[in-house]
Amino acid sequence: MGGTCPVCNKEVDQLTFSSVIDGVVYQFCCKRCQRSFTAEPRKFINCCEDSTDR
């Protein structure tokens, strides 16, 4: 599995740190990012939903 950490946008190459929010698995680059996300997931999930591509 791979992906991008939703907190700091670093690449994640394994599922070492993860959380499930509303049925979606989010991967993190470190425990610190996982804790930040878990404390305030909407801060990171909704950060880009209102933006539009230009």
Query: What is the residue type of 13?
Result: D
pLDDT tens, residue by residue, 27-46: 999 999 999 999 999 898 87
Q: Report the pLDDT value the prediction gives residue 45, as an integer from 0 to 100.
A: 85
Cα-based torsion angle of the residue sequence 6, 30, 1, 11 in order, rounded to the nearest 10 degrees: 60
pTM across the whole model: 0.75
φ and ψ of 13, to 5 deg: -105, -5
Cα separation of 21 and 54, whole Å? Answer: 29
Q: Report the pLDDT value the prediction gives residue 48, as an integer from 0 to 100.
A: 56
pLDDT tens, residue by residue, 10-29: 999 887 899 998 899 999 99
**Domain residues of the chain, as ranges?**
3-45
